[in-house]
Amino acid sequence: MKKSSSPWACSGGIFDWDNSVRELAELNAKAEDSSIWNDPQKAQEVMKRRQELDGRINGILKIEQSVADNTELIAMGESEGDASIVLEAEKALQALKKDVAAIELDALLSGEADGNDSYLQINAGAGGTESQDWASMLMRMYVRWANLNKYKVEVLDQHDGEEAGIKSCTLQIKGHNAYGKLKTESGVHRLVRISPYDSNARRHTSFCSAWAYPVIDDNIVVDIIESDLKIDTYRASGAGGQHINTTDSAVRITHMPTGIIVACQAERSQHKNRATAMKMLKARIYEMELQKKQDKVDAANAKKTDNGWGHQIRSYVLQPYQLIKDLRTGFSSTNPTAVLGGELDDFIQASLAQRIHGGSPDGVEDIE
């Protein structure tokens, strides 16, 4: 199918159809040249970019073809007086909305590390059991979001609360554009609900922070001075059998100049946990450098503000009414069950669009 242009090229100026088709043709030519494998690193970069462009372009072509086919079916059904054909075609067009939304979301991602896998760190705020339970709810929300996006999730570190929930956890979420999407989730999340731990059934407000940073490629060099590190080992507290719970296999690394702390207890080997923790530390330091290139709104995330009032990016109100509202974009949902079940893409898309087009929503106020 020959196309000189596409309506997708006008979608906020994000996805340039003509240049993308031209670039894909160039990458296909390079991939067919066997000499490209003389430099494996360069070859992998070419193949990765080729796969990304091919997926986007073919995804758009399939949607446009489906729209054309079903529009033709509707016209045929109407001319023949067959309502069942019209209904089936309309249902097919309705189902395409999710595919279109997914492509539009991917088109908003163009940052330096947007295409990378992501680490996601969740920490309970002040409030004891209530906040720790909220942290476990956030962890479950992001795991379900990852599953809906067909990403792989690995729990690298987890500290359980004394009575319920978790004090903190670190997830590694693997998949194309995982960091680009999750970076919009960095900030403080506030929950308002009737506490299941309050015998008087009073309304409680809890805070937790989520912090995303990219998994960096091996070719990205981050210099770390060994003397700047404080390395502690401790007994792993998560699941993993008798061995992992009875040896000091878990590793915590503190980078003294920045105060960054990373930890890993996913492996039974202390050596492997240390290697993973070092990768996490390099990723955190690299992410700090990326943040310096962002505008003032994004740079605020790098300051890691207090886990409490006045710093939240999103409020989740479950009682006395139900409303989840992003305080940066003004986007909201009255279906907290769906959002807490992992349906976050609409919030992510709104946040990415605001980053690109700038500005702040009108009338965005906190929710009491």
Q: What is the pLDDT of residues 267-280, one digit of tens each?
A: 888 888 988 988 88
pLDDT confidence of residue 363: 37
Label residue 238 by pLDDT band (50, 70, 90): low
Hey, where are the domains in the chain? Answer: 7-107, 118-357
pLDDT at residue 332 is higher than 60:
yes
Residue 51 pLDDT class (50, 70, 90 cuts):
confident
Assess whether pLDDT exceeds 60 at residue 184.
Answer: yes
Report d(CA 11, CA 180) in Å as an integer: 18
Architecture of the domain delimited by 118-357: 2-Layer Sandwich (3.30)
Claim: this prediction has a pTM higher than 0.85: no
Window from 83-87, 108-112, 194-198, 258-262 with minimum mean pLDDT:
108-112
Indicate left, alpha or beta for 95 from its phi (over 0: left) and psi (-120 to 50: alpha).
alpha
Level-2 CATH architecture, domain 7-107: Up-down Bundle (1.20)
Question: What mean pLDDT value characterizes the chain?
Answer: 82
| Higher pLDDT, residue 111 or 287 | 287
User: 134-167: per-residue pLDDT in tens?
Assistant: 999 999 999 999 999 999 999 998 999 888 899 9
Per-residue model confidence as pLDDT tens digits over 1-28: 334 344 444 344 456 778 888 888 998 8
What does the pLDDT read at residue 199? Answer: 75
Handedness of CA 37, 41, 44, 46 (dihedral sign): negative
At 293, is the pLDDT very low, low, confident or very high (cuts 50, 70, 90)?
Answer: low
